[in-house]
Amino acid sequence: MGAHDRGHVERVARLARYIAQREGADLEVVTVAAKLHDMARDGPDHARRGAEIARGVLRSQGYEEEFIERVAHCIEAHSFSGGVEPRTLEARVLSDADKLDAMGAIGVARAFLYSGKVGRSLEDTLRHFEEKLLGLYDLLYTEAARELGHERHKFLVEFYQRLREELFSDPGDIN
């Protein structure tokens, strides 16, 4: 809970639907994929396993195989670390929406919620900014997401610089 809770899934679904409409992606595929995208979040290889779980859920609900595969591909390709390239517009839309929710003030808040949960220090959280969060803007695929991401990225950079300054600048002794 915290960084990948219900709130995250709902925000990603909202962002994904907006981007899908701007980019002309299939709204139903994107919406279903967003709602199901993090079901395997707590564990290794969450994107691939999440796609597997989603297939089972959608089959049990009677969706057609072609639709199910389009959704499953979005989920298996949405993750930063999953190593699967999105082949469809819908998959690029979900990837973008998920990344946007790790940027801006929400991104900062989620990073520290996660740090609190696992006991990660401020210094290690700064490293997470360097290794992941500050690079997210360059991973956005669609024009609509880059528009939304511009201010969020700027805020991440400002916050990162400010935190680093306060952590590592030594005001020094007065004589």
Residues that bind Fe ion (CB under 5 A): 38, 98
Q: Please identify, using beta-carbon distances, which residue of 139 and 167 lies nearer to Fe ion.
A: 139
C-beta of 40 vs 89, nearer to Fe ion? 40
Cβ neighbors of 22 (< 8 A, separation 6 or more) are 142, 143, 144
For the CB of residue 119, give the shortest distance to Fe ion in the complex, in Å.
22
Cα(2)–Cα(46) distance, rounded to whole angstroms? 17
According to DSSP H, which parts of the chain are helical?
A: 6-23, 27-36, 46-60, 65-76, 89-100, 104-118, 122-131, 143-168
Give the nearest distance from C-beta 167 to Fe ion in angstroms: 28
Measured between alpha carbons, how far is 2 from 117 in angstroms, rounded to an integer?
8
- Tell me whether residue 96 or residue 98 sits nearer to Fe ion (CB atom): 98
Amino acid at 170: D
How far, in Å, CA of 140 to CA of 92, rounded?
A: 8
Q: Is 106 exposed, middle or buried (0-12, 13-18, 19+ CB in 10 A)?
A: middle
Measured from the CB atom, the residue of 90 and 98 that comes closer to Fe ion is 98
Nearer to Fe ion, 97 or 156 (CB): 97
Q: How far is the CB of 41 from Fe ion (least distance, A)?
A: 7
Q: What is the DSSP letter of 74?
A: H
The distance of closest approach from Cβ of residue 8 to Fe ion in the complex, given in angstroms and rounded to an integer, is: 6
Minimum CB separation from Fe ion for residue 174, in Å?
A: 49
